[in-house]
Chains A and B, each alone.
Chain A
Amino acid sequence: NAGVMQNPRHLVRRRGQEARLRCSPMKGHSHVYWYRQLPEEGLKFMVYLQKENIIDESGMPKERFSAEFPKEGPSILRIQQVVRGDSAAYFCASSPQGKRVGLGDTEAFFGQGTRLTVV
């Protein structure tokens, strides 16, 4: 899973600021997923993107959160006007296909995460 690169690893923001989290998928992977892990919780699905397309954003809060995966460059998860409740670890995963992650060559590999702290 070292192939999925997330940066920064740690991000501290004051309430009201913007947070930008970046994810570069593994080489050859065109499918990106973002998950959030709140303290003492499991990972929760936020959004699934392919290049230039948002496929499923059902897990993303309707306000202040947005995600993109441009034709060139990393996927970006953007959180505007951060609040204390946004403090969490944000994980990105990538896969070569968008089906049945965990099965053979459709395994999704996770990055090391970005730990966001809102003060």
Chain B
Amino acid sequence: DQQVKQNSPSLSVQEGRISILNCDYTNSMFDYFLWYKKYPAEGPTFLISISSIKDKNEDGRFTVFLNKSAKHLSLHIVPSQPGDSAVYFCAASESGGSNYKLTFGKGTLLTVNP
């Protein structure tokens, strides 16, 4: 029972172009969403987050869009750089007493080609 789904296991883009990573969720109780970046043999690093009261959050080259009605979010990276090559995990947490608990997707491997 996957509550957070990243349906694209991998994505390849050219340096300088836009990378769009997608994530869908099924749990209506999720109200906070995060993206983590992970390099091989390292732990996940927090990238950007968004609350369900917003539909967009921007931080430099990274923008996260949230469509609550579609239960869909996406991460845009513009312009993409070779150093962005990593696995990107979408994660979500519920409101209420268990809001410390993150539910992760399976990840999308992004490769940015020079």
Q: Indicate the size class of the contact surface on chain A.
A: 20 to 34
B70 to chain A, nearest CB (A): 21
- Measured between beta carbons, the chain B residues less than 8 angstroms from A33 are 100
Residue of B nearest to A9 (CB): B41
A102-B32, A102-B49 given; A42·B41 CB < 8 A: no
Q: Are A112 and B104 in contact (CB under 8 A)?
A: no
Query: Does B43 lie within 8 Å of A40, measured CB to CB?
Result: no
Q: Mark B47-75, 1 if CB is under 8 A from A, else 0.
A: 00101000000000000000000000000
| Residue A119 CB within 8 A of the other chain | no
- The interface-forming segment of A11-19, A67-75, A79-87, A103-111 is A103-111
B4 an interface residue at 8 Å Cβ cutoff? Answer: yes
Neighbouring A residues of B106 by C-beta, 8 Å: 40-42
CB under 8 Å from chain B, chain A span 75-119 = 91, 93, 95, 98-103, 107-113
Cβ contacts A31-63/B at 8 Å (1 or 0 each)? 101010000111111001000000010010000
> Which residue of chain A has its CB nearest to the CB of B92?
A102
Grouping DSSP codes into helix (H, G, I), strand (E, B) and loop, the A interface class, with mixed when no group exceeds half, is loop
Contact pick for B103, options A6, A41, A45, A111, CB 8 Å: A45
A101 touches B43 (CB 8 A): no
Beta-carbon contact of A100 and B93 below 8 Å: yes
Q: Told that A101-B100, A102-B93 touch, could you supply 19 new A-B pairs with CB distance under 8 A?
A: A42-B4, A42-B104, A43-B44, A43-B91, A43-B102, A48-B101, A98-B100, A100-B32, A101-B34, A101-B102, A102-B49, A103-B32, A103-B49, A110-B36, A110-B43, A110-B44, A110-B45, A112-B42, A113-B41
Complex A-B: 9 CB contacts under 8 Å: A4-B43, A33-B100, A48-B101, A91-B43, A93-B43, A99-B100, A102-B91, A108-B100, A110-B36
